[in-house]
Amino acid sequence: MAGTVVADSGTNDQEEGSQKTAESPVSASMEVDPSTRGLTDGERTAFVNDMSDKYGQEIAERIVPDGHESADGGDIGTQGQMPGLEPGSLVWDDDEHLEVDNPYGQTLVESDNYAALYETNVYKDGGNDRYYIYWLWSAAQSIDHINITGNIKEFWNHIDLTNSADVTVYDPGGDVTKNGIPVTVSASVSGTNSSGSVGASAGIEGEFYLSEDTVGPHPDKTGQDTDEFAVRWDGNYEGSQEINGTLVERRDTWDNRSFTWSVYLDGAGI
């Protein structure tokens, strides 16, 4: 993550000088505003390539939506889109890596995370309220050692709006358990252009495979009353798992973007 990052090793850490007795979950967060630096085209491409090497090309293809234009106008997207719809112009994105270690320094599980913010050209009834679309991607995997096997327990990807904006739509909207079956997440908005003279729309759609257990909105980090959304995987799994999530923000054009992006990973050794 660029900008301010706070890493949290969870509640199981002992004071310095004492021995850790259990694996501790890890998290990271950053505050994002218009001055926050995002990924360059080269950094984004390198990240996608690294994820392809680590998790496989099919999983890495879920990261960047089709229709995203790079600075030179080329489409570097890798994800399927709603027919005829694009998410808008990319204004910020970033990635973050997390690892859960045991007391002996062995990494048991790791995750890689990505978040992107798109500015649409869709307004509410030609007024000052403009729509923005967030795209979230995370992948986690367990790591085996000679004497211990890692298991993924939980990971999530979270956006918390800290300005006066509103979350209007998020997906997945409920828990899904479809072992080995594709899960589709999508969001779309309709309205007008800035003058209100012409109809406009934007959207995003993606698909990932749920290998085991449950994916859905984090119950304590999702709500339109609190203007936040977290897509969470929860279970107990040895292997790799990916998730996608999306949300739509409606914000006054005079209100600068301001939000907190945070990611979390928990795992154990068996």
50-69 per-position pLDDT tens digit: 999 999 998 888 898 654 44
Contacts of 200 (CB under 8 A, 6+ apart): 120, 121, 122, 123, 190, 191, 192, 193
pLDDT at 83: 56
Residue boundaries of the structural domains of the chain: 33-269
HSE of 116 in the Cβ direction (CA atoms, 13 Å)? 25
Quote the pLDDT of residue 67: 46
Least confident among 11-15, 188-192, 239-243: 11-15
Highest mean pLDDT among 5-9, 67-71, 124-128, 258-262: 258-262
| pLDDT greater than 60 at residue 70 | no
Choose between 14 and 38: higher pLDDT: 38
Tell me the pLDDT tens digit for each residue of 129-152.
999 999 999 999 999 998 888 999
Tell whether the model's pLDDT for residue 179 goes beyond 90: no
E-only strand ranges, the chain = 6-8, 26-32, 89-101, 107-123, 129-142, 150-161, 166-171, 181-192, 199-210, 214-217, 228-237, 240-252, 259-269
- Residue from 243, 173, 169 nearest 204 by CA: 169
Question: What does the block give as tokens for 191?
Answer: 């309205």
Q: Residue 167: name the closest of 230, 236, 255, 228 by CA.
A: 228
What is the mean predicted confidence (pLDDT) over 202-207? 91
pLDDT at 127: 79
Residue type, 171: D
pLDDT at 75 (0 to 100) = 43
In whole angstroms, give the CA distance from residue 227 to residue 260.
11
Confidence grade of residue 72 (pLDDT, cut at 50, 70, 90)? very low
Rounded to two decimals, what is the model's pTM?
0.87
